A and B are shown apart, each in its own frame.
Chain A
Amino acid sequence: GQSLEQPSEVTAVEGAIVQINCTYQTSGFYGLSWYQQHDGGAPTFLSYNALDGLEETGRFSSFLSRSDSYGYLLLQELQMKDSASYFCAVRDDQAGTALIFGKGTTLSVSS
């Protein structure tokens, strides 16, 4: 079967840097994705890592280590609008081509 583990909550202040970790267990591996969801809204795609290393997109970066079955999302220069839930997701052989999502990490940014 498949499973993803990520912290349930993270808090930080404006301007800080925060890292949200994700460990996964899958039958086969086809990349790690990250999504952001504001309260009551639709999830939006942030990043995708198929190979080891760091991918940077503006203030957000995502890292993958396939040998450790581990990845993280790094958010820099935090802003109040970054307060949201963040989900890691993987594809698994048992789910065909669909993504399996973690339970999400709620990030609260304070001033």
Chain B
Amino acid sequence: DGGITQSPKYLFRKEGQNVTLSCEQNLNHDAMYWYRQDPGQGLRLIYYSQIVNDFQKGDIAEGYSVSREKKESFPLTVTSAQKNPTAFYLCASSISRGGGYGYTFGSGTRLTVV
């Protein structure tokens, strides 16, 4: 079955460490997205990519980095520059630009700074 796989499901990070969240899709979708979700805040856009080797910053890109070397993969690195990284991170993909056909989301990674 096609879908999006995010790993790990739970991740603990020490202060000052970089961590990378994995996102892999086998839906043959061109576009992929990263969102951060905090309680009561909805989903906020971190980065998005429409095609391989291209990505754009979202509203809250500071302290994060991404790469898109393969169509199937869009990893997110949370750097030590991100001052408040504890959150639920969601990766999504879509077949069409703009979400007309709907996003498919992964099951998320819950990151906690310890």
Contact = CB atoms under 8 A, between A and B. Distances in A.
Interface of A: 8, 30-31, 33, 35, 41-45, 48, 50, 87, 89, 91, 95-104
A103 B58 CA distance: 16
Given A87-B42, A104-B42, A48 B99 contact: yes
Contact of A95 (B58, B92, B100, B104): B58
A15 B108 CA distance: 32
Interface of B: 31, 33, 35, 40-45, 48, 50, 56, 58-59, 90, 92, 97-108
Contact of B59 (A35, A91, A95, A97): A95
A33 B45 contact: no
B42 A102 contact: yes
Nearest to A46: B102
Given A42-B106, A97-B31, 13 more contacts: A35-B103, A41-B108, A43-B103, A43-B105, A44-B105, A45-B103, A48-B99, A50-B100, A91-B98, A95-B48, A97-B97, A99-B33, A100-B45
